[in-house]
Structure 1
Amino acid sequence: MSWKDLHARTDILHAVLDRAARSDFELNPTDPKLFDNLPELERLFGGPDGVLLALRHRWDNHLNVKLDHALAQGKSAVDVYLELSAEQPALRAILDIYDTAHHHRSPRTRAMAS
């Protein structure tokens, strides 16, 4: 993957997170427009499910780093999870709706069924 592609992937992830957090989405990550009109999404991620996998990976990385630091400070895993959820509400909201570990239908199908 080129640097250009890496930056384009990052831009897509930021766009999805920004859309989920904007007031016109009213923190509603189920809006099927969450993944619309994002240039190169299909090529770089293979579709919305690839974006969701990347967002899940991002969450897991942040959580693991926070857990490593928290254990040394005597914090519980629940406290760390809640802290990260408060820091990244759009990411958490997207994953709560489209959790790739627990759902097998495509994001659009799940969103339209809601």
Structure 2
Amino acid sequence: MSWADFHARTDILHAVLDRAARNPADPNLFDGLPDLDRLFGGPDGVLLALRNRWENHLNVKLDHALAQGKSVTQVWQELATEQPALRAILDSYDTDRLYSRRPHARALAS
């Protein structure tokens, strides 16, 4: 992946998160985003990348918080409060269904 593609992928993720901050259930959440299909293979790829982002952030927070005596539930709630648009997208779409399948490396590259 080129730097240009990497930045374009990041721009798409930020655009989706910005839209989700207004309405995570918007049926047009993924519409009109240049190169979404080429860079992610479609909306499912974006959802997988966002799910991967959530999992990465959660794991980092857990590493630090568990040493401080916080529960997994507390850490999850903190992250959901810090990233409401991301959590809202994941709650609005069935990412468990997507995540349980073999994801394409292209979707998780962000």
Tell me if both proteins adopt one fold, taking TM over 0.5 as the criterion.
Answer: yes
Shift of 1:102: 3.4
Structure 2 equivalent of residue 92 of structure 1? 87
Q: Distance in 2 between matches of 1:18 and 1:5?
A: 20
Structure 2 equivalent of residue 110 of structure 1? none
Q: Distance in 2 between matches of 1:102 and 1:74?
A: 32
TM-score normalized with structure 2 length: 0.86
Q: Distance in 1 between matches of 2:13 and 2:93?
A: 15
Q: Distance in 1 between matches of 2:79 and 2:95?
A: 19
Report the aligned-residue RMSD. Answer: 1.4
Percent of paired sites with the same residue? 79
- Letter paired with 2:18: D
Structure 2 equivalent of residue 48 of structure 1? 43
Structure 1: runs of 5 or more not aligned: 23-27, 105-114
Residues 4-49 of structure 1 show CA distances to partners (whole Å, capped at 9, x for unaligned) of 1001000000000001113xxxxx3121111011000010001000
Structure 1 equivalent of residue 30 of structure 2? 35
Structure 2 equivalent of residue 5 of structure 1? 5
- Letter paired with 2:64: H
Q: Which has the higher contact order (CA 8 A, sep 6+)?
A: 2
Say which SS state the counterpart of residue 28 (structure 2) adopts: helix
Structure 2: runs of 5 or more not aligned: 100-110
Moved over 4 A (4+): none
Residues 64-99 of structure 1 show CA distances to partners (whole Å, capped at 9, x for unaligned) of 000000011110000000000000000000001113
Please tell me whether the aligned partners of residues 44 and 98 of structure 2 are also in contact (alpha carbons under 8 angstroms): no
Equivalenced residue count is 99
Structure 1 equivalent of residue 67 of structure 2? 72
